[in-house]
Amino acid sequence: MSILYDEGQQAIATESRRVLEARTDKARLLGLIEQVGRHDEPFWQTAVEQGWTALAIPEQHGGLGLGLVELGLVAQACGAATAGAPFLTGSYGVAHALAAGIDPALAAEWLPRLASGDATGCVALAEGNAALPNLAAVTFADGRLSGTKRAVSGGLSAAVGLIWASCDGSPVLALADLAGAGRSAVDSYDNARLYADLEFAGTPARLVAKGDVAQALALDVLARLAVVTAHEQLGGAEALLHAARDFAVTRKAFGQPIGAFQSIKHRISEIYALVEIARANCIHAASSEGGEGFLLAAADARISATEAYDTASRDCVQIHGGIGVTWELGLHLHMRRARSLAVEQGNLLFWEDLLVSQLTGDKA
């Protein structure tokens, strides 16, 4: 069962879109592409001012106590504007794990700071091309982490990191104060994501969960981040659908708008189909938060949103022709973001496998 957005949710969608449209500046975003280590600071100030950092954090810890539906709507607005820094997802992942973890003191210490935007968090589950390795190479022993997590989204400036590690052959989730970790920036095609290699050499960290509980919690965090990211991808894909449509009705060739040619019309209709399927899956997944079918719904949302954003960015550029590949027009902001978001939170290969495992109960 899916949902219809209520009035409050609709207001969040409208207001976040309005604010971001007013405050996002394409030239500023283009300027960030070639600079390593800088994010869109005006966006972050907006996120804090609008209360987006507090949205999905429990009220007892200074948050607004809302859920994935609301955070998803903000992420969708961010995606449409290619706005943003990765903290909205990362901080939410850390906050959710702490709230669900074994250490109430740790939650009490960090959740209010994450809610106020005073501190940001990142989530480091992946190693290599594995979104959630069975046994992490990063180790945790005697309250200390050792090893390296590569290209962690938001890792360059986050205050704390939720780290997937192993302890005597058993999985753990640990929270590291990143002041004690080595960080080196990754020069990426989407530098505003602040990718960093995090190096732990006996870095102090505190246990959030261990064993099967850690395994289940890590997957839950990953699925939640995937649903938020799917909304961001949906927002991007929808913005490209509109860009393609607007261009096709104004640009003329052979004596008519190019949108009168079926090769263009049908391409745009196909993007519409992908966007609407992704939207339906995103709404369903967000509204299934915490329910029995959540992982499956998250996989559906993630797969369809990835397909929608990748296809939309490919085809929207194609419809624009030459102008579409210029630096100045900036469609490559979406191309870059479509790819970085496709890789963060587990790629299609991961989610396809996970979906089938959920469906069959098999482990492949």
Partner 1 sequence: MSDLEAYRAGARAFLEAMAPTYGRDARAGNSVEQDLALGRKYQALKYEAGFAGINWPREIGGQGLGHLEKITFDAEEMRFGMPTAFFSISLGMPVPILIRYGMGENREHSAWVKERVVKALRGEEIWCQLFSEPAGGSDLAGLRTRAEPDGNGWRMNGQKIWTSWAQYSDYGVIVVRTDPSVEKHKGLTYFWVDMKAKGVEVRPIKLAGGDNHVNEVFFDDVRLEDSQRMSPVGGGFGVALATLMIERYTATDSAGFGPHLDRFVKLAHEVEINGRPAIEDARVRSQIARNHAMRAGLDSITSRAFQMMMAGMEPGPEGSLQKLVSVRSRQKLSELALDLQGSAGLAFDPHGSVKDNWGASWLNAPTGRIAGGSDEVLLNTIAERVLGLPQDHRPDKGVPFNKIPA
Size of the site for partner 1 (CB under 8 A): 47
Of 131, 243, 278, 341, the residue at the interface with partner 1 (CB under 8 A) is: 278
- Among residues 163, 83, 82, 150, which one has the least CA distance to residue 122? 163
Q: How far apart are CA 228 and CA 56, in angstroms?
A: 11
- Among residues 283, 281, 332, 331, which one has the least CA distance to residue 306? 281
Binding part of the chain for partner 1, among 211-219, 232-240, 251-259, 334-342 by CB under 8 A, reads: 251-259
Of 234, 248, 286, 333, the residue at the interface with partner 1 (CB under 8 A) is: 248
| CA-atom Rg of the chain in angstroms | 20
Q: Residue 47, interface with partner 1 (CB under 8 A)?
A: no
- Other C-beta atoms closer than 10 Å to the C-beta of 4 total 8
Q: Residue 276, interface with partner 1 (CB under 8 A)?
A: yes
- Choose between 141 and 249: whose C-beta lies nearer to partner 1: 249
- Choose between 200 and 350: whose C-beta lies nearer to partner 1: 350
Q: How far apart are CA 337 and CA 39, in angstroms?
A: 14
Q: Residue 130, interface with partner 1 (CB under 8 A)?
A: no
Of 14, 184, 269, 318, the residue at the interface with partner 1 (CB under 8 A) is: 269
Binding part of the chain for partner 1, among 25-33, 49-57, 190-198, 254-262 by CB under 8 A, reads: 254-262
| Count of H-run helices and E-run strands, the chain | 11, 9
- Choose between 172 and 241: whose C-beta lies nearer to partner 1: 241
Q: Which residue has the tokens 């482990």?
A: 363
Dihedral of alpha carbons 261, 270, 79, 161, sign: negative
Question: For the chain, where are the E strands, in sequence order?
Answer: 121-124, 139-141, 144-152, 160-167, 170-177, 182-185, 196-210, 252-253, 256-257
Q: Residue 281, interface with partner 1 (CB under 8 A)?
A: yes
Per-residue contact flags (x/-) with partner 1 for residues 295 to 314, judged by CB under 8 A? -xx-xxx-xx--x-------
- By CB under 8 A, name the binding residues for partner 1: 1-4, 241, 245, 248-249, 256-257, 259-260, 262, 264-266, 268-270, 272-273, 276-281, 283-284, 296-297, 299-301, 303-304, 307, 349, 351-353, 355-356, 359-360, 362, 364
